Amino acid sequence: MNILLLGYGKMGQLIGQIAESRGHTLAGKISIDNREDLQQIDPSTVDAAIEFSQPEAAVENITWCLENNIPVLSGTTGWLNEKPRLDSLTKEKNGAFFYASNYSIGVNIFFKVNEFLAKLMNETTGYQSSIEEIHHTAKLDAPSGTAITLAEGIINESSQFKDWHLTGESNGNEQSLPITSKRIDPAPGTHIIRYQSEIDDIEISHTAHSRQGFALGAVLVAEWIQGKKGVLSMNDFLSF
């Protein structure tokens, strides 16, 4: 496959290394420093684009791919208010657009465990729920996209919560799930779900030891997306 990298920071570089180790070639490495090079890319030579850039660049990058009939997968967070528009463009162009807040297989299993636990806890009383996420200081958005996905999983299974809030920015209310974000180097990513009561605490967590799992997952999806159409997610990839 010929893979276009949109975003060439630490994650993009690791994705490129893994892609090449699996026998793929790189059609281009686009970053904030050479965005003008994107216009020199021949779309017909690109089999898939992997988009791990910045929130302010993601929408333009994904739009360019869809307009040029390139299957694109994105892991950039912090821009999802624009996603409905890109979903519509995908359908209009009969293209393929895959989004995930986290490409780690382990994290996506954790998402399902989180939803199952939330369903069980919805049938109990006396527990206070919360989420804590810890990432490296270079991560610009807070809370993480993974934490938001976890919060949405709890909200969808809970009659208690209607939305979530970031602690420190809003006091929230009884129907708002609190998320605490911490930025500590060199943490690549830890997410903790807590249910606390006067009697006991229940806690599940996922800790990434490196970015390797995220990067490998993105390359595996790029391989899988060939011939696919529509708005896709990890549920489609993993057949959950």
Domain boundaries, given as residue ranges, for the chain: 2-103+212-238, 105-207
Tokens of 125: 């009383």
Q: How confident is the model at residue 145 (pLDDT cuts 50, 70, 90)?
A: confident
Q: Which of 182, 181, 185, 209 is nearest to 136 (CA)?
A: 185
Element (H, E) at 48: strand 48-51
Q: How confident is the model at residue 171 (pLDDT cuts 50, 70, 90)?
A: low
Tokens of 132: 């804590």
Q: What separation in angstroms does the CA of 231 have from each of 79, 84, 86, 146, 150?
A: 16, 10, 9, 19, 20
212, 21 Cβ separation under 8 angstroms? no
Residue 209 DSSP one-character state: S
Residue 107: the pLDDT is 93
Matching CATH number, 105-207, of 3.90.1490.10, 3.40.980.10, 3.40.50.300, 3.30.360.10: 3.30.360.10
Is 135 among the catalytic positions?
A: yes
Matching CATH number, 2-103+212-238, of 3.60.21.10, 3.40.309.10, 3.40.50.620, 3.40.50.720: 3.40.50.720
Residue 12: the pLDDT is 96
Is 229 among the catalytic positions?
A: no
Q: What separation in angstroms does the CA of 30 have from each of 4, 18, 99, 168?
A: 8, 17, 19, 36
Residue 239: the pLDDT is 80
Q: Which of 83, 116, 108, 97 is nearest to 216 (CA)?
A: 108
Catalytic member of 83, 139, 165, 229 = 139
Q: How confident is the model at residue 138 (pLDDT cuts 50, 70, 90)?
A: confident
Residue 141: the pLDDT is 82
Q: How confident is the model at residue 211 (pLDDT cuts 50, 70, 90)?
A: confident
Q: Is the pTM of this model over 0.85?
A: no
149, 111 Cβ separation under 8 angstroms? yes
Catalytic member of 24, 135, 191, 206 = 135
pLDDT of 170 higher than 70: no
How far apart are the C-alpha atoms of 41 and 180, rounded to whole Å? 41
pLDDT of 140 higher than 80: no
Tokens of 108: 């996506």
Strand partners, 181: 133
pLDDT of 240 higher than 90: no
- Phi and psi at 201, nearest 5°, equal -120, 145
Q: Which of 23-37, 137-151, 200-214 has the lowest mean pLDDT?
A: 137-151
Element (H, E) at 25: strand 25-30
pLDDT of 160 higher than 80: yes
pLDDT of 75 higher than 80: yes
**Average pLDDT of the chain?**
94
